[in-house]
Amino acid sequence: MSTTSTVSRGDAHARADAAAPRVLWLDTPDRPAPRPPVGADPTDSSADLVVVGGGYTGLWTALRAKERDPGRSVLLLEADRIAEHATGRNGGFCEASLTHGEANGLERWPDEFETLERLGLANLDEIEETVRRYGIDCGFERTGQLTVATRPHEVADLEPDADGFLDAAAVRALVDSPTYLAGRLDAEGCAMVDPARLAWGLAAAAESLGVRIAEGTPVRAMRRTDSGMELATPHGVVRAARVVVATNAFTDLLPRVARRVVPVYDHVLATEPLSPEQLASLGWAGRSGVADSGNLFHYYRLTRDNRILWGGYDAVYHFGRSIDAEHEQRAATHRVLAEHFYETFPQLADVGFSHRWGGVIDTCTRFCAFFGLAHRDRVAYAAGFTGLGVGASRFAADVMLDLLAGEPTERTRLAMVRERPLPFPPEPLAWVGIQLTRWASARADATGRRNLWLRTLDRMGLGFDS
């Protein structure tokens, strides 16, 4: 960021501190009441398919399982409440990309990247169709996403000689920030949603097809039997012919998966609703989502009531793969985000923040989801979405159902599906490596040069993405 803010650093910090420590999307009287835990209904003791985890991955799996086979009994077990964790705390960017962007996909799977792009766009189309078919009121808008360069060395990555490149004047005509030097708009590959309402709508749609959902039901252990799987919960044992583990950062049930994932905390601010005059000062008529081009990047968008949701940049890893509710509020990170907000939009110097929050996401060394089977092919899993799960979770659901069916499909033949990312090292090496990578990434953002550490990680196919 090179523009000087009209809001002092101290005032920016004070405004971040004054925001309510609550999740915007969950701060509504419309939030559904919790469903009872497993055991309240005797029929909850067994199912053809048990889905562990009530985030997007689990919800899409439950819904798709019934759509694909209406006669199959499906039970979903959620340890907390639907949309309580990453699913209800993200920015609401529903992207077509399955690979965490074009560069990552081309580098890792160049021979099948066109197929991955086609499948990703079809997946987004199918999400839109599902929202329409079930009448899910989640503010789904196919607005696209604008990528902007805010440092001179980032302009070249936006391919100035290729069609669709936006110079400073053109990008500022879409969204006006003095920090923008260039941009590129992906008009079809991203939609904006209210992420919690999408989850609540998917849960209701799944139930309308006969899926049973139990909240407040953590699965403590899982073991294979002669006839299937047994899942131990505080409310009793649940038996299943097949299981999908859709717990993302919460990987205790599958230690082999846990070694390939680390939990990181992403943090977000939301402004007060903008007045018509404040909104007009931005020229944000297309309402596209925006992301800048840094290694440590910001993402932001307009909500339905014209707040700006502003997040990203400072993804935080806590030693020992720690997951704790105390990590969700981090004053240092929220204050930095506030500083960057006013540098990006100095015309909004009189706008304050209403909400601040954080949430845990799972990342892996290839930055996008990986898949597999366990327990002699009776259990399927997907993890490692790295913040891209709003859209990619539906694709993951079909991959896992394909794997459990045991019949090869176009999806399961993909190298992306067949390959696994390299695991992270044990502590303290994981913590040291991640901190060093974040420092080097920040230096690369400032200088435009990747140092020896980052170049080595590139050659090894490792890294850490904000």
What are φ and ψ of residue 59, in 5° steps? -65, -45
Strand partners, 77: 52, 214
Contacts of 52 (CB under 8 A, 6+ apart): 58, 77, 219, 222, 231, 243, 244, 245, 246, 247, 253
Q: Do residues 162 and 15 both lie within one domain?
A: yes
C-beta neighbour count of 282 within 10 angstroms: 18
Reference 124, options 111, 142, 99; nearest CA is 142
Q: Do residues 157 and 248 both lie within one domain?
A: no
Q: What is the pLDDT of residue 457?
A: 85
- Check pLDDT > 60 for residue 62: yes
Q: What is the pLDDT of residue 455?
A: 86
Quote the number of domains for the chain.
3
Q: Do residues 267 and 252 both lie within one domain?
A: no
Q: Name the pLDDT band for 314 (thresholds 50, 70, 90).
A: confident
Cα 25 from Cα 114, distance rounded (Å): 35
* Residue 223 covered by a domain: yes
Q: Are 97 and 431 in contact (CB under 8 A)?
A: no
Residue of 104 and 459 predicted with greater confidence? 104
* Residue 384 covered by a domain: yes
Q: Are 3 and 179 in contact (CB under 8 A)?
A: yes
Q: What is the CATH number of the domain that holds 218?
A: 3.50.50.60
Cα 425 from Cα 435, distance rounded (Å): 13
Q: Do you find a cis peptide bond into 29, omega within 30 degrees of 0?
A: no
Cα–Cα separations (whole angstroms), residue 420 to 168, 383, 384, 424, 427 = 40, 11, 10, 12, 21
What are the structure tokens assigned to 263, written together?
Answer: 């939990």
* Residue 383 covered by a domain: yes
User: Would you give the DSSP letter of residue 109?
Assistant: -
Residue of 62 and 464 predicted with greater confidence? 62
Q: Mean pLDDT score of the chain, rounded to an integer?
A: 95
Cα end-to-end distance, the chain, whole Å: 17
CA atoms within 13 A on the CB side of 401: 25
At 241, which helix (H) or strand (E)?
A: strand 236-245
Cα 393 from Cα 375, distance rounded (Å): 22
Which tens digits make up the pLDDT trace of 391-405? 999 999 999 999 999
Q: What is the pLDDT of residue 453?
A: 85
* Residue 4 covered by a domain: no
Strand partners, 145: 186, 289
Q: Do residues 116 and 210 both lie within one domain?
A: yes
Q: What is the CATH number of the domain that holds 165?
A: 3.30.9.10
- Check pLDDT > 70 for residue 419: yes
* Residue 225 covered by a domain: yes
- Check pLDDT > 90 for residue 305: yes
Which tens digits make up the pLDDT trace of 144-198? 999 999 999 999 999 999 999 999 999 999 999 999 999 999 999 999 999 999 9
Q: Do residues 318 and 214 both lie within one domain?
A: no
Q: Name the pLDDT band for 84 (thresholds 50, 70, 90).
A: very high
Cα 138 from Cα 196, distance rounded (Å): 8
User: Would you give the DSSP letter of residue 53?
Assistant: -
- Check pLDDT > 70 for residue 43: no
Q: Do residues 129 and 58 both lie within one domain?
A: yes
Q: Do residues 267 and 397 both lie within one domain?
A: no
Q: Name the pLDDT band for 465 (thresholds 50, 70, 90).
A: low
With 0-12 / 13-18 / 19 or more C-beta atoms within 10 angstroms meaning exposed / middle / buried, residue 121 is middle
Q: Name the pLDDT band for 348 (thresholds 50, 70, 90).
A: very high
* Residue 224 covered by a domain: yes
Q: Do residues 279 and 177 both lie within one domain?
A: yes
What are the structure tokens assigned to 89, written together?
Answer: 């705390």
Reference 268, options 210, 200, 338, 213; nearest CA is 338
* Residue 241 covered by a domain: yes
Which tens digits make up the pLDDT trace of 210-232? 999 999 999 999 999 999 999 99
C-beta neighbour count of 285 within 10 angstroms: 11
Q: Do residues 300 and 435 both lie within one domain?
A: no
**Which range (5-9, 238-242, 291-295) has the least confidence?**
5-9
Q: What share of the chain in percent tops pLDDT 70?
A: 97
User: Would you give the DSSP letter of residue 321?
Assistant: G
Strand partners, 262: 363
- Check pLDDT > 60 for residue 464: no
**Could you tell me if residue 36 is left (phi over 0), alpha (psi between -120 and 50 degrees) or otherwise beta?**
beta
Q: Do residues 341 and 386 both lie within one domain?
A: no
Q: Name the pLDDT band for 458 (thresholds 50, 70, 90).
A: confident
**Which range (26-30, 385-389, 453-457) has the least confidence?**
453-457
* Domain with 308 in it: 9-28+145-186+262-363
Average pLDDT over residues 103-115: 95
Angle between the N-to-C axes of helices 113-133 and 389-405, in degrees from 0 to 180, rounded to the nearest 10: 100
Q: What is the pLDDT of residue 461?
A: 73
C-beta neighbour count of 87 within 10 angstroms: 27
Q: Within its chain, how far is the Cα of 280 from the centroid?
A: 30
Q: What is the pLDDT of residue 42?
A: 63
Cα–Cα separations (whole angstroms), residue 118 to 125, 189, 334 = 11, 11, 37
Q: Which of 344, 363, 382 is the last residue of a domain?
A: 363
Q: Do residues 162 and 224 both lie within one domain?
A: no
Residue of 466 and 265 predicted with greater confidence? 265
* Residue 138 covered by a domain: no
Q: Do residues 115 and 208 both lie within one domain?
A: yes
